[in-house]
Amino acid sequence: MLIAAFPAGPWGTNCYVAATAPGSECIVIDPGKDAAAGVAEVVREHRLKPVAVLLTHGHVDHMWSVTPVAGAYDATAWIHPDDRHLLADPMAGLSPESAGMLLGGDYRFTEPDDVAELTDGASLELAGLRLVVDHTPGHTEGSVTFRTPWDQGADISEVMFSGDLLFQGSIGRTDLPGGDHAKMLRSLRSKVLPLADDVVVLPGHGEQTSIGRERATNPFLLDLLDSGPGTPPGRVTRGL
């Protein structure tokens, strides 16, 4: 399996390109601002053909380039229905501070020509890859993660593209439109904590980690393991 990653745009959003091998079809996950050129470079280098663009959620730092990337390769864009409205109106999901960063530009967003909707527990077969979709509301209403089996040893059972649900040492923020802290905690408890320690986590921002590492060190998961109902004040969450 081939996974290429690069940070894109002013928010440093991780964009991922995944395929079974060089010279095959591939998927693109979370093409943020300025990601189109990076995707094209990976595609050329590994002789790939994108057939699907998957979004972990609808925030603009993760979907800015979804329409140009999907259009360039005649690929289907996948998003959860609860975030689909953000494809054409991403400002609805922004904080005033983030919106302020975009003032002065003439930015227009439209849905890609071909959009498919994600459902919780769905098993997708795309580009020769099997991906399990987990609906994980909290950061946004339509946040999801994608898990795919890893069959190349190294004591890894799965790879999870976690979007802005889980980071190394932190979790996604819940103070933006559509965010809900109680839902975030439920998503972490029901969708993250049951996973095996050897699952590699590829987050929307920052460095990769593992479920085992986060279970042992992430203060938010430790709170859940201790059955605490809330998050102690002063801890920093992440995301746009």
Q: Work out the pLDDT band at 232, boundaries 50, 70, 90.
A: very low
* Residues 6 or more apart whose Cβ sits within 8 Å of residue 233: none
SS3 content of the chain, % helix, strand, coil (to 5): 30, 30, 45
> pTM for this structure?
0.90
Find the mean pLDDT for residues 92-115.
Answer: 71
The Cα–Cα gap between 26 and 18 comes to 5
> Per the structure, how many domains does the chain have?
1
Task: Please indicate, yes or no, if residue 233 is contained in any of the structural domains.
Answer: no
Task: Please indicate, yes or no, if residue 240 is contained in any of the structural domains.
Answer: no
Q: Which pLDDT value is given to residue 229?
A: 47
- How do residues 83-92 score in pLDDT, each as one tens digit? 999 999 887 7
* Residues 6 or more apart whose Cβ sits within 8 Å of residue 234: none
Q: Which pLDDT value is given to residue 96?
A: 62
| Host domain of residue 205 | 2-225
- How do residues 203-215 score in pLDDT, each as one tens digit? 999 999 999 999 9
Other beta carbons within 10 Å of 199: 20
Task: Please indicate, yes or no, if residue 146 is contained in any of the structural domains.
Answer: yes
Nearest CA to 139 out of 77, 82, 197, 222 is that of 82
Task: Please indicate, yes or no, if residue 232 is contained in any of the structural domains.
Answer: no
Residue 75 has pLDDT above 90, yes or no: yes
Q: Which pLDDT value is given to residue 110?
A: 86
- How do residues 166-197 score in pLDDT, each as one tens digit? 999 999 999 998 999 999 999 999 999 999 99
Task: Please indicate, yes or no, if residue 14 is contained in any of the structural domains.
Answer: yes
CA 190 to chain centre: 18
What is the residue-averaged pLDDT of the chain? 90
Query: Which domain CATH number covers 203?
Result: 3.60.15.10
Task: Please indicate, yes or no, if residue 171 is contained in any of the structural domains.
Answer: yes
Find the mean pLDDT for residues 128-142.
Answer: 97
Q: Which pLDDT value is given to residue 234?
A: 40
Task: Please indicate, yes or no, if residue 221 is contained in any of the structural domains.
Answer: yes
Q: Work out the pLDDT band at 230, boundaries 50, 70, 90.
A: very low
Task: Please indicate, yes or no, if residue 104 is contained in any of the structural domains.
Answer: yes
Q: Work out the pLDDT band at 108, boundaries 50, 70, 90.
A: confident
Q: Which pLDDT value is given to residue 98?
A: 62
- How do residues 31-48 score in pLDDT, each as one tens digit? 999 999 999 999 999 999
The Cα–Cα gap between 29 and 56 comes to 7
Q: Which pLDDT value is given to residue 238?
A: 64
